[in-house]
Amino acid sequence: MGLLNTLLSLFIGKSKASGTSSNPVGLALNALIERNGGISGLMGKFSQGGMGEVFSSWIGMGENKSISPDQISSLLGSQQVQSIASSLGIDPKQASGFLADYLPKIVDKLTPSGAVDPNADHASGLAALLPSLLSSFGGNKSR
C-alpha cells in the first residue's frame, strides 16, 4: 500500500486549500485529460489503439471493463506515463498501475449521464471526485 499512502499524502496534504489546482494528483490527472483533448480525445486515442470498447464501457452505464498497466502505457505512451510518474514522485510502473486502476473510475464519474459532455469542466469534476476515489483504493472497480 505504499503507492496509496504516497498518493493520499500528496492529495490530503495539498488539496485542502483549492482542490485540483494545488495537489499533484489532481494536477497530473487533469493534465493527462487536457493533453489528450479531454474525455472525447482520450476516447479517440483508445479507439485508435483498439481499446475503444473498453473506454466506452467506462462512459456507459454498465460495468467498467478493466485495462492493464501495460495497455495504459501502450495507449498513452511512455512519455505521458513518465510525466505523471515524475509529477507524483513515483515509478512509471506504479503510475501506469494507478492509471489502470483509476482512469476507468475517473472517466466513469466524469460522464455520469453515460455520455461525453464536451463542455464539462473536468478540473472541477476531478477536484470533487478525487477524495472519494483515493479513499476507495482497493474497492470495487465497477460502477
Residue 31 located in a structural domain: yes
Residue 50 located in a structural domain: yes
Return the CATH number at 72. Answer: 1.10.10.690
Query: Does 27 score more than 70 pLDDT?
Result: yes
Query: Does 18 score more than 70 pLDDT?
Result: no
Predicted TM-score of the model (pTM): 0.79
Residue 2: the pLDDT is 53
Residue 8 located in a structural domain: no
Query: Does 16 score more than 90 pLDDT?
Result: no
The string over 107-118, giving b where at least 16 C-beta atoms fall within 10 Å of a residue's C-beta and e elsewhere, is bbbbbeeeebee
pLDDT in tens, 53-111: 999 999 989 999 999 999 999 999 999 999 999 998 999 999 999 999 999 999 999 99
Q: What is the mean pLDDT of residues 32-48?
A: 94
Mean pLDDT of all residues belonging to the chain: 82
Domain containing 131 equals 23-135
Whether the CB-CB separation of 21 and 123 falls below 8 Å is answered with: yes
Share of the chain above pLDDT 90, in %: 55
Structural domains counted in the chain? 1
